[in-house]
């Protein structure tokens, strides 16, 4: 992704060069954010790439309208999230479930057992069943490097609300997967 | 033998959703109860596995082609944006040219209309009546209390600017003259002749008075007249 940052930083030819440079800088600060958010919703790398591209393109088109440039990351997250949800709705919930189960899109390392892969599939489906407010919090908190304060900043909500939603989401997931408690996969 | 004491709240305990006092109580109990200790351990592992799984949901990098594709799409966006601006500029220039042409046409038409003033012939009332009503008092009253439904003052001003102003007291004559000319009742040559007549100097012929002749010269010579 550093290549993306470097290539974007070197391709600034436009009417408003300073604005373009600022956009590229903002994008370089969070190169995989839109992709990861989309991946958390779609569970498919190709679909997530499409959505991330669309989100970044929209960000490019509307960057000059963004009053507070410091909120670029939150703006990008919300755009990617909304686009990913739109794509799922367009494809149909049922189709998405089958698709996610068949594809098994999350990358599986050599050390992963079949039991853990199955467990991951269950977790993914349980995450999808969460209320949207809890779901976006748990997905963002799972992205490397984002603590509750940063998630609160991204979503423009109080940190206490993030903690509360995160807590409820984890508990809901645990309850949904309670029947797996006896067979916790060891990895 | 299963311990049912904390089975219902095991998830809350593992998630940390209990008061510190209750957590302490449970930990004391778990130190003595193998069943609860194992259940708690399993529940903690479930949460740990959950967190790992959710992290894996959002882990990974886009493909190496992602950056090149995005760069291409942004470049296309720049081109299409500039093309869109160009087309808008053309449309705006066309609209501006149309407006300017329209303004020129309108101004020319209005100039032509102003250069052909005509005497108003459609007098609403007999000429004498009209003239009688055009006293200074009536005019000032009309200005102060305009009749409802009448054209506005601006319209009046515009209408008056296209009429021929006639000195006071001659409006009736002017209207009659206009009617006569327009109705064919008066010939132009006749009018010119009448005007020439008016400009001619009056010739005053000396009055010739014949001397009276007396029938009786003698009576005149006496010098005595009786009344």
State the nearest Cα–Cα gap between B6 and chain A, in angstroms: 15
> A165: pLDDT confidence band, cut at 50, 70 and 90?
very high
Q: Most B CBs within 10 Å: which of A13, A53, A144, A180, as the mutation test of the B interface?
A: A53
**Which residue in chain A is spatially nearest to B62 when comparing CA positions?**
A49
CA neighbours closer than 13 Å in the CB half-sphere of residue A56: 35
Q: B219 is written with which tokens?
A: 């009576």
State the nearest Cα–Cα gap between A171 and chain B, in angstroms: 7
CA distance B194 to B197: 5
Q: Which fold has domain A111-187?
A: Arc Repressor Mutant, subunit A (1.10.10)
Q: How many CB atoms lie within 10 A of CB B80?
A: 10
ipTM score over 0.85, yes or no: no
Q: Which fold has domain A12-105?
A: Rna Polymerase Sigma Factor; Chain: A (1.10.1740)
CA distance B96 to B89: 10
> A159: pLDDT confidence band, cut at 50, 70 and 90?
very high
Length of chain B: 227
Query: What residue ranges of chain B have pLDDT lower than 70?
Result: 1-2, 81-82, 114-166, 168, 213-227
Query: Where along chain A do its domains lie?
Result: 12-105, 111-187
Residues of A in contact with B77 (CB under 8 A): 57, 60-61
What would the mean pLDDT of A155-162 be, rounded to a whole number? Answer: 92
Q: pLDDT tens digits, residue range A29-44?
A: 888 889 999 998 888 8
Total beta-carbon pairs less than 8 A apart between chain A and chain B: 131
Tell the burial category of A162 from Cβ atoms under 10 Å away from its Cβ (0-12, 13-18, 19+).
Answer: buried
Say whether A170 and B46 touch across the interface (CB within 8 A).
Answer: no
Above 80 in pLDDT, residue A25? yes
> A122: pLDDT confidence band, cut at 50, 70 and 90?
confident
Give Rg (Cα) of chain A: 18
Q: What is the DSSP string of chain A?
A: -HHHHHHHHT---SSSHHHHHHHHHHHHHSTTHHHHHHHHHH--HHHHHHHHHHHHHHHHHHGGG-S-GGGHHHHHHHHHHHHHHHHHHHH-HHHHHHHHHHH--S---TT--HHHHHHHHHHHHHHHHS-HHHHHHHHHHHSTT--HHHHHHHHTS-HHHHHHHHHHHHHHHHHHTGGGGGGPPP-
Contacts of B60 (CB under 8 A, 6+ apart): A36, A39, A45, A106, A107
Q: pLDDT tens digits, residue range B11-20?
A: 788 877 788 8
Residues 83-102 of A with CB under 8 A from B: none
State the nearest Cα–Cα gap between B11 and chain A, in angstroms: 7
CA distances in angstroms from B102 to B17, B94, B95, B106, B108, listed in the order given: 77, 12, 11, 6, 10
């Amino acid at each position: 992704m550093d290549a993306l940052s470097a290539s974007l930083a070197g391709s600034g030819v436009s009417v408003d060069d300073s604005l373009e440079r600022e956009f590229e800088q903002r994008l370089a600060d969070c190169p995989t954010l839109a992709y990861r958010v989309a991946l958390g919703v779609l569970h498919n790398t190709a679909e997530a790439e499409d959505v991330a591209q669309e989100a970044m393109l929209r960000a490019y088109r509307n960057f000059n309208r963004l009053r507070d440039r410091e909120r670029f990351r939150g703006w990008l997250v919300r755009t990617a999230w909304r686009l990913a949800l739109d794509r799922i709705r367009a494809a149909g919930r049922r189709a998405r479930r089958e698709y996610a189960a068949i594809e098994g899109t999350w990358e599986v390392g050599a050390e992963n057992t079949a039991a853990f892969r199955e467990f991951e599939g269950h977790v993914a489906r349980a995450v999808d069943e969460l209320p949207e407010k809890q779901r976006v919090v748990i997905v963002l908190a799972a992205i490397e490097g984002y603590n509750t304060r940063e998630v609160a900043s991204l979503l423009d909500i109080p940190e206490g609300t993030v903690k509360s939603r995160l807590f409820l989401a984890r508990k809901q997931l645990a309850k949904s997967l309670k029947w797996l408690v006896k067979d916790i996969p060891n990895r | 033998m299963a311990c049912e004491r904390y089975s219902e709240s095991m998830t809350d305990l593992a998630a940390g959703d209990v008061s510190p006092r209750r957590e302490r109580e449970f930990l004391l109990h778990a130190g003595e109860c193998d069943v609860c200790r194992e259940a708690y351990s399993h529940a903690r592992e479930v949460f740990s596995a959950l967190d790992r799984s959710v992290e894996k949901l959002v882990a990974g990098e886009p493909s190496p082609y992602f950056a090149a594709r995005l760069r291409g799409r942004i470049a296309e966006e720049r081109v299409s944006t500039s093309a869109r601006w160009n087309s808008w500029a053309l449309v705006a220039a066309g609209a501006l040219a149309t407006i300017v042409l329209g303004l020129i046409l309108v101004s020319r038409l209005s100039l032509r209309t102003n250069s052909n003033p005509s005497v108003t012939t459609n007098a609403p009332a007999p000429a004498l009546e009209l003239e009688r009503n055009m006293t200074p008092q009536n005019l000032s009253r009309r200005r102060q209390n305009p009749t409802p439904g009448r054209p506005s003052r601006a319209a009046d001003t515009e209408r008056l600017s296209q009429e021929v102003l006639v000195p006071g007291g001659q409006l009736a004559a002017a209207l009659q003259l206009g009617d006569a000319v327009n109705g064919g009742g008066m010939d132009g040559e006749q009018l010119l002749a009448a005007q020439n007549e008016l400009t001619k100097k009056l010739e005053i012929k000396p009055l010739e008075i014949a001397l009276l002749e007396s029938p009786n010269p003698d009576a005149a010579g006496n010098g005595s007249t009786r009344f």
